[in-house]
Amino acid sequence: MRTIDLMIFDLDGTIVSSGVDLVNSVNYTLKVLGLPPKTEKEIISFVGDGVRRLIERALASQEESVVEKALAVFSDYYAQHLLDNTKLNPYALEVLENFADKIKVILTNKRYNFTLTIARGLKIERYFSEIIGADSLPYKKPDARLIDYLLGKYKVERDKAVMIGDGINDIYVAKKSGIASVVYLSGLGDRKDLLAGEADYYCESLREINSLFK
């Protein structure tokens, strides 16, 4: 069992099940723009690199004016509907409680205000020392400077930190920065891609994290 001092958690698909609200918001945006809807599987595959990339992928376009309009529609709608169906993943609360004495941070490519609203709505904000969203710092996952910032701020050694997520960027940012990685295989990420990413640990249930670290 590995001793750790800092636990860095992804949000979407890891701590929370948020896919339905993301899918509904993207399809609402497409409808407003007069475009056909996408399947849930398609939209989920677009998640992980922030809202702009999500919209660009959904539109299959990077034309600035179209993307900006879609971003405005999506952001307004999602802000009002991000807790319609979003809930904590099974055992997420148990893990947060189990590691109550550890420094815990949310590190996500989701915008900070969306992340904070979800954390507050699901009553988990108090478990975290900090929330870092896509617009909190000049860089986002998988940029290793995010981890360097956290290690420096909380004075934690690299071998005492772990990144926990359900996306390939969570593996990449951990590898680039030399910290351990745990991948939750029951989240939003593509299972095959995640297994190919060679994370340090894999779990089907978040509860398994309790037996990995102390």
Q: What 3-state DSSP class applies to 164?
A: strand
Q: Look up the CATH number of domain 19-81.
A: 1.10.150.240
The CATH topology of domain 6-17+86-211 is Rossmann fold (3.40.50)
Residue 152, C-beta contacts closer than 8 angstroms, at least 6 positions apart:
none
Domain residue ranges in the chain? 6-17+86-211, 19-81
Q: How much is the pTM?
A: 0.95
Which residues are part of the catalytic machinery? 10
How far apart are the C-alpha atoms of 127 and 140, rounded to whole Å? 22
Tell me the pLDDT of the chain (214 aa) as tens digits.
Answer: 999 999 999 999 999 999 999 999 999 999 999 999 999 999 999 999 999 999 999 998 778 899 999 999 999 999 999 999 999 999 999 999 999 999 999 999 999 999 999 999 999 999 999 999 999 999 999 999 999 999 999 999 999 999 999 999 999 999 999 999 999 999 999 999 999 999 999 999 999 999 999 9
44 burial level (CB within 10 Å; 0-12, 13-18, 19+): buried
